[in-house]
Chains A and B, each alone.
Chain A
Amino acid sequence: MKLQINGEVLEVPKSLQTITDLLNHLELQNQTVIAEINDEIISNHKQDETAIKENDKIELVRFVGGG
């Protein structure tokens, strides 16, 4: 399955069904990651029930140092 993540096209296994699956696949499960799919912001507590599909445009962001 092709996804566009943070501007990069990425091929991921078809078995990934939800945002949580994707974050586990990317080994980001231990971090606070916020997802936006096709311009829709997804609450973190809904990551495990939010489906991903071919050609989704996904933004993954996090908190970084800032003033």
Chain B
Amino acid sequence: MLKIGSYSFSSRLLLGTGKYPDFETQKKAVDASGSEILTFAVRRMNIFEASQPNFLEMLDLKKYTLLPNTAGAKTAKEAVRIAKLAKASGLCDMVKVEVIGCDKTLLPDPVETLKATEELLKEGFIVLPYTSDDVVLARRLEELGAHAIMPAASPIGSGQGIMNPLYLKFIIEQAAVPVIVDAGIGTPSDAMIAMELGADGVLLNTAVAGAKDPVKMALAMKMAVEAGQLGFEAGRIPKKETATASSPLEGLSVN
């Protein structure tokens, strides 16, 4: 089970809801992924277009826990406002703190992320900060009381996969709260590597939404996360420099 704050989840795959080709494909992809946590952004309504379709309205909200993000925020203050707007809906009390500090890399601003996390924890939110793979920052976020740490595998939407497995491993090993590898996942094998490293979950969006067949990719990601988790639990063999025969060396039949 993945435990975040007061919540428990059997799925360790968290799915973003952006950039799908259409709602029908998205709905099928969400189903195929088995995800129980869906991320959303908060944006202004187009007030002159009442019938604008919205994915949220298509979901059975009893089946999913919403994880709104604070994307768009560049300061802690903006992130706190977006989080409060999301919570005012009455639909959620979890938030993904996302305070971008660099437009080119979309890497988070560590100082503002820390401030926003602190403020939102005071306000009673269940806080999941999106962070870089900075080991010390991850520890500082946890010390503040963050309910999970979400380090990036590589830049958002890049599909570059796990760029720094060593630092992710350091973060995973030191953390007493769940570590969810967020952003940069491109393939099922990326997600599996994250889980084999010991991550408690994976959050991805573009890898599924942008795939040629999002529904099939969602299923592949589900299976990869499950396989990676099983592999981690099973415990891998140590790597050796030399070969070790798998078949017995004795009893060879010689004619």
Q: Does A15 have its Cβ within 8 Å of any Cβ on chain B?
A: no
Cβ-defined contact, A61 with B47, below 8 A: no
Cβ-defined contact, A34 with B205, below 8 A: no
Name A12-67 residues within 8 Å CB distance of B: 26-28, 30-36, 41-45, 59-67
Most chain B CB neighbours (cut-off 10 Å) among A6, A31, A43, A66 = A66
Interface size on A, residues (CB 8 A): 28
Cβ-defined contact, B91 with A66, below 8 A: no
Q: Does B69 have its Cβ within 8 Å of any Cβ on chain A?
A: yes
CA distance A34 to B45 in the complex (A): 9
CB contact under 8 A between A6 and B88, given known A31-B54, A65-B20: no
Cβ-defined contact, B40 with A28, below 8 A: no
CB contact under 8 A between A28 and B45, given known A61-B85, A66-B39: yes
CB contact under 8 A between A66 and B44, given known A27-B50, A43-B88, A61-B85: no
Cβ-defined contact, B47 with A64, below 8 A: no
Q: Does B135 have its Cβ within 8 Å of any Cβ on chain A?
A: no
Cβ-defined contact, A28 with B50, below 8 A: yes
Cβ-defined contact, A62 with B47, below 8 A: no
Cβ-defined contact, B42 with A65, below 8 A: no
Question: Closest approach, in angstroms, between the C-beta of B217 and any C-beta of chain A?
Answer: 15
Contact of A66 among B51, B69, B90 (CB under 8 A): B69
Residues of chain B with a CB closer than 8 A to A6's CB: 44-45, 47
Residues of chain A with a CB closer than 8 A to B183's CB: 67
CA distance A63 to B41 in the complex (A): 6
Cβ-defined contact, B43 with A10, below 8 A: no
Give the interface of A toward B (CB within 8 A).
5-6, 8, 10, 26-28, 30-36, 41-45, 59-67
14 A-B contact pairs sorted by A residue (CB < 8 Å): A26-B47, A31-B45, A32-B54, A41-B85, A43-B90, A44-B89, A44-B90, A45-B90, A63-B54, A64-B42, A64-B54, A66-B16, A66-B71, A67-B71
